[in-house]
């Protein structure tokens, strides 16, 4: 199993279940779209998506939060570019990237439980953390799944 997660050579072979490959393509597009929104939206998505009440904060505090969201968008862009490289050229990396995806969303759950963020409502991102973590684990399993061969 370790060879499926950390292959000895990184190539374009993906012997896992095809659904894991196709969902990875969609995940790549989603990650790239989210990154551009956090980078280029005037509020970085902090108020318009995450419902952080920026208009109740002093100007400098609101600008700091928008800047942090833009930096988050930059991180998402880098992750999205790595996903794109894997989707186009290095598909043998997909199981490891699914595992990292599941770990990221597990850690988002932990951060949400241990670091408070004031919001005016429930942020959509906080609602998808558990489902995305579970989905990531399922897709990881499908990406390393190999059908049994008959003897």
pLDDT at 112: 87
pLDDT at 123: 78
Residues 109-129: tens digit of each pLDDT: 999 889 888 888 887 777 889
% the chain with pLDDT above 70: 95
Residues 12-45: tens digit of each pLDDT: 999 899 999 999 999 999 999 999 999 999 999 9
Residues 128 and 75: their CA atoms lie apart, in Å, by: 19
Asked if residue 151 belongs to a domain, the reply is: no
Question: How many separate domains does the chain show?
Answer: 1
For 86, the domain range is 2-6+16-144
Asked if residue 11 belongs to a domain, the reply is: no
**Structure tokens of 35?**
């990154």
Residue 59 pLDDT > 80, yes or no? yes
Residue 75 burial by CB count (10 A; 0-12/13-18/19+): exposed, middle or buried?
Answer: exposed
pLDDT at 1: 63
What are the Cα distances from residue 52, in Å, to 26, 30, 41, 44? Answer: 27, 22, 14, 11
């Amino acid at each position: 199993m370790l060879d499926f997660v950390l292959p000895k050579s990184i190539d374009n072979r993906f012997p896992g279940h095809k659904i894991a490959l196709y969902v990875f393509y969609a995940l790549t597009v989603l990650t790239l779209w989210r990154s551009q929104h956090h980078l280029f939206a005037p509020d970085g998505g902090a108020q318009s998506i995450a419902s952080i009440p920026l208009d109740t904060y002093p100007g400098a505090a609101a600008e700091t939060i928008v800047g942090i969201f833009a930096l988050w968008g930059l991180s998402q862009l880098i992750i999205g570019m790595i996903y794109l490289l894997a989707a186009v050229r290095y598909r043998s990396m997909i199981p490891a990237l699914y595992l990292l995806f599941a770990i990221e969303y597990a850690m988002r759950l932990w951060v949400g439980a241990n670091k408070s963020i004031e919001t005016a409502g429930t942020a959509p991102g906080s609602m998808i953390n558990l489902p995305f973590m579970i989905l990531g684990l399922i897709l990881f399993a499908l990406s390393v799944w190999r059908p049994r061969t008959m003897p």
